[in-house]
Amino acid sequence: MVFFGQCVFAVIVIFVLKKLLDKELMSVALEKFESCKISSDIKEINVYSASAISNEVKNHFESVRQRKMPQANLNFRENADLKGGLVIVAGDLLLDFSLFSRLQNFWA
């Protein structure tokens, strides 16, 4: 019975840590997207995430898009393969802040 309790506790801790890491990766991705130089002639920006993005984060992306690339379309797409975080594709620019790529780099 003690082992079962420890397993449940471990699962809860891992879930909470994943949520915190996911939030941090999104925050860093937003900061990088806002600070990087992006061509003003880009027509489309795609933001891929493992799960639905909050309206707060979407609004932040939208405000950056309006300032830097007012003519670009902003698309949000879900891709469960990322496991967490974000991938931003804008023209030739690729900002990969996904949990999947972080784990691959960690084990490489």
- CA-based R_g, the chain, Å: 17
Q: Give, in degrees to the nearest 5, the angle at Cα 56 between 52 and 62.
A: 95
The domain limits of the chain are 2-107
What's at 13, amino acid-wise? V
Asked if CATH classification 1.20.81 holds for the domain at 2-107, the reply, yes or no, is no
Strands 44-49 and 73-78, how do they pair? parallel
Pinpoint the alpha helices (H) of the chain: 2-35, 55-68, 99-107
pLDDT higher than threshold 70 for residue 5? yes
Q: For 16-40, what is each residue's pLDDT tens digit? A: 988 888 888 888 989 999 998 877 7
Q: For 58-76, what is each residue's pLDDT tens digit? A: 999 999 999 888 899 999 9
Q: For 42-57, what is each residue's pLDDT tens digit? A: 899 999 998 888 899 9
pLDDT of residue 108: 58
